[in-house]
Amino acid sequence: MDIQKIRQDFPLLQEGGGKKPVLYFDNACQSLRPLAVIEAVERYYREQSACSGRSMHHLGEAVSHAVEEARAGMQKFLGAARKEEIIFTRNTTEGINLVANSLAWQPGDVVVLSDKEHNSNLIPWQMLARRRGVEIRVCPSLPDNTFDLEAFQKLLDGRVRLAAFGHTANLDGVSVPAAEIVKIAHRAGALVLLDAAQSAPHRQINVKTLDVDFLALSGHKMLGPSGTGVLYGKYALLEKMEPFLVGGDTVASSTYTTCEFLPPPEKFEAGLQNYAGIIGLAAAARYLQAVGFNAIQKQEEEINTFLTRELSSIPGLKLIGPADPRLRGGIFTFYIEGVDSHRIALMLDQMANIQTRSGQHCVHSWFNARGLRGSVRASAYFYNTLAEAETLAASLTKIRKVV
């Protein structure tokens, strides 16, 4: 992988107008976008700018074709059996909410979560517990923040309807053993949903091989436009589910008192969609496939290994997650005892134009359970370089001396 050539595809990484490029280490929040994605979005607005599936004119037909091409592209990206299993959403949050509000729940049904779930995979189930009498069980992690399969097995019984886990935690970059989880859950008669917002940008996923029932991802973390995402679901399950959002484009016909819903995926894609975003998301998936996930993981691991080695000796610095950087992907999350995490992030920005994330990273439950106010998260992607990591390490060393 030629990193310098790849970096030329990302305008924000280029110098210009007397302004230095950013050192972008906030990729777990949102990735940068390459020219291929920017141009795909712009091309829709410049050359098509019509509705899909509604208008018979040639512009409408062109958009309809582009959207279905994008659906087929995301089917290939995830290894789904058929393109009708790909539902376009605004983000992972909407995908999870769709499942939570479309499955037929009974009072006493149980949902199992981990103790590190993003609010997107926690709050929808809390609302379901309030409204439908569903019970939530939390599976604790091992002391090093890795997944505890034994604890998970102990939580399973005949009442567990669904296990919903972040495939990779945005807190610390640790991935769950998804294939083992699916097998164990299915033996117990439970479905499995994976929040792949943090895994889809960084690793090859094959939903057929995993045999996972549902998987949600966001475009904005994988080079795609904001406000785009995908929910994958096994077609047999999608057929039985009631649509969450309804209205235009979800029905084949209606009367004043009845309606006939379209089959999946259309019955879950209510209203006019973000066609430019969908086309841009497909372009992002193609870009990632061209780079190659082996090369992506190798670059992230090299950077995280360097940061782990260089920063472990900083006085008072506490790493969140396992010590082995290979278990944390491109994420290095830490806090310095007695120092506000927002202060550290602001100083990195002001001193060296380094972008990181500070706070509780939408995992408030984990921090609150441990009495921690927050942390700083440096998250690398394949376009980050070892030189940038060196600047980050040197800047943090200077900051520690000051504070």
Determine the Cα–Cα distance for residues 228 and 73; give it in Å rounded to an integer: 14
β-pairing, 191-195 with 160-166? parallel
Which DSSP state fits 373? Answer: -
Backbone angles phi, psi at 267, to 5 degrees: -70, -10
CA angle 5, 78, 87 (to 5 degrees): 115
**51 belongs to the catalytic site:** no
Determine the Cα–Cα distance for residues 224 and 207; give it in Å rounded to an integer: 20
Query: Does residue 265 have a cis bond before it (omega within 30 degrees)?
Result: yes
Question: How would you class 310 by CB atoms within 10 Å of its CB: exposed for 0-12, middle for 13-18, buried for 19 or more?
Answer: middle
Question: From the centroid of its chain, how far is CA 267?
Answer: 24
Question: How would you class 134 by CB atoms within 10 Å of its CB: exposed for 0-12, middle for 13-18, buried for 19 or more?
Answer: buried
How many CA atoms lie within 13 Å of 305's alpha carbon, on the beta-carbon side? 7
Question: How would you class 314 by CB atoms within 10 Å of its CB: exposed for 0-12, middle for 13-18, buried for 19 or more?
Answer: middle
Of residues 51, 139, 259, 362, which has the active-site annotation?
362
Backbone angles phi, psi at 165, to 5 degrees: -130, 145
Tokens of 21: 């490029």
- What Å distances lie between residue 346 and 108, 321, 328, 341, CA to CA? 46, 23, 24, 9
- Residue written as token pair 């069980």: 137
Catalytic positions are 362
